[in-house]
Amino acid sequence: MAGTSTTREVTIDLDAAQQSQVKAGDQVAITLPDGSTTPGVISSVGSVATSPPPGQSVGGNTSPPTITVLVKPTDPAATGTWDQAPVNVAITTGNVSNVLIVPVDALLAQPGGSYAVEVAGTDGIRRLVPVTLGLFDDVGGLVQASGPGLAAGQRVVVPAL
């Protein structure tokens, strides 16, 4: 005899090397097939890594071992009527408050592996300001930045596409 549940749940095959970065209770954002997002919470993080079958590769590289992570949507009704639909999950692994953030696109790589942002002054003059990076928000395309010469309210230059 076998049974199934009607409880909505997202299963993630997470790279086993990232296991220590997630834990039950972490907040996530689930992007559904129609592009809408809904929040969720990690309910469990597996402890057994599994490897892909021999010969299975992605782009010629062997896929890394994975662990199973289960996510429960905060509002199951928001997930619609899909069953076994592919979704994307963004996991929040850290947070900070009262920090300066800049768009990732504003970062300019500097010699030696450092970064700077170009700041537009009120006089129209632009200058490079060295920055130290903190947490990245992959979903929002933002990064925590700090450094002498960088202050709240300044305009940073972002390249046009």
Contact between 91 and 139 (Cβ < 8 Å): no
Task: Give the model's confidence band at 139: pLDDT under 50 very low, under 70 low, under 90 confident, else very high.
Answer: confident
- Give the per-residue SS3 of 120-158: ECCCCCEEEEEEEEEEEECCCCEEEEECCCCCCCCEECC
CA distance 104 to 139: 11
Torsion sign (Cα): 76, 77, 83, 86 = negative
| Cα–Cα dist 30/79, whole Å | 9
* pLDDT tier, 10 (very low <50, low <70, confident <90, very high otherwise): very high
pLDDT of residue 62: 72
> pLDDT tens for residues 63-96?
889 999 999 999 999 888 888 889 999 888 778 8
What is the arithmetic mean of pLDDT over 100-108? 95
User: How does residue 59 score in pLDDT terms, banded at 50, 70 and 90?
Assistant: low
Would you state the torsion angle of the CA atoms of residues 74, 76, 79, 85, taken in this order, to the nearest 10 degrees?
100
Which residue intervals of the chain bear CATH 2.40.30? 10-91
Q: Which of 15-24, 58-67, 69-78, 126-135 has the lowest mean pLDDT?
A: 58-67
Domain at 10-91, CATH from 2.40.30, 1.10.260, 3.90.25, 1.10.3470 = 2.40.30
pLDDT single digits (tens) 27-58: 999 999 999 999 999 999 999 989 877 665 55
Q: Is the pTM of this model over 0.85?
A: no
- In sequence order, what are the residues at sequence separation of 6 or more whose Cβ sits closer than 8 angstroms to the Cβ of residue 28? 39, 40, 41, 42, 71, 89, 90, 91, 92
Structure-model confidence comparison of residues 158 and 161, the more confident one: 158
